[in-house]
Chain A
Amino acid sequence: EAGVAQSPRYKIIEKRQSVAFWCNPISGHATLYWYQQILGQGPKLLIQFQNNGVVDDSQLPKDRFSAERLKGVDSTLKIQPAKLEDSAVYLCASSLGKLLSYNEQFFGPGTRLTVL
């Protein structure tokens, strides 16, 4: 079974530039998550989708971050404009269902973003 795919794996940009990340979850997984992991910290949830609807985006800095999952499959996360503090690894994860207690999350390899 193919895992969660993410691209690009690495991205270096200057502050105030824009960047987009792509994620393709495991086939059949209805729930998709985007996390931000700053060096030395645990993953922090940015947004959760159930199919193509947003379940939770309470921690997404909406003035600069946006995400979509138009057909309920793959997803893109965009930052515009980027700030120095956005430097982090952006992890995408998917699960079969949305109930946390009964659904393990499968993580992709992540995109390491460096903002100069």
Chain B
Amino acid sequence: QQPVQSPQAVILREGEDAVINCSSSKALYSVHWYRQKHGEAPVFLMILLKGGEQKGHEKISASFNEKKQQSSLYLTASQLSYSGTYFCGTEGNDYKLSFGAGTTVTVRA
């Protein structure tokens, strides 16, 4: 079952902050975040593991609440390059990754 993301879309000015939420109805082992720019392939942002371990490559932070089966992605001091659609992928006890419908972020100068 795919996770639910909110909001569906957000518009920011450069320097503003935003939070994207990802919620699942099943117990989760890990949460994965990807960003996809229009017409391009999704690009890995980070993996959050049960127990608090985090693996990421960019200066975008996230949290994972295992008990609530939720994750949040924090875009801090947004830059124009942050524009794109953010997808969360959740891994449950079926060891499969299910992606949400995405949150479209538009950062304006």
Contact = CB atoms under 8 A, between A and B. Distances in A.
Q: Do A and B come from one complex?
A: yes
Given A100-B91, A110-B41, A45 B47 contact: no
A102 B55 CA distance: 8
Given A40-B101, A45-B96, A100-B97, A107 B43 contact: yes
Given A45-B96, A100-B32, A100-B96, 6 more contacts: A42-B2, A42-B87, A100-B97, A102-B47, A104-B44, A109-B41
A44 interface: yes
A108 B41 contact: yes
Interface residues of A, number: 19
A43 B87 CA distance: 9
B47 A101 contact: yes
List the 6 closest A-B pairs by CB distance, nearest first: A42-B99, A107-B41, A104-B44, A101-B30, A100-B91, A107-B42
A14 interface: no
Secondary structure at the B interface, as helix, strand, loop or mixed, is strand
Contact of A41 (B41, B55, B102): B102
A104 B55 CA distance: 9
A101 B29 contact: yes
B30 A91 contact: no
B104 to A, nearest CB: 10
A106 interface: yes
A56 B2 CA distance: 17
A43 B30 contact: no
A100 B47 CA distance: 9
A43 B40 contact: no
B interface, how many residues as a size bin?
Answer: 20 to 34
Interface of A: 4, 40-45, 56, 91, 100-102, 104-110
A10 to B, nearest CB: 11
B8 to A, nearest CB: 10
A42 B91 contact: no
A101 B49 contact: yes
25 contacts: A40-B102, A41-B102, A42-B2, A42-B100, A42-B102, A43-B42, A43-B99, A45-B96, A45-B98, A56-B96, A91-B41, A100-B30, A100-B95, A100-B97, A101-B47, A104-B32, A104-B47, A105-B32, A105-B44, A105-B97, A107-B34, A107-B41, A107-B43, A108-B41, A109-B41
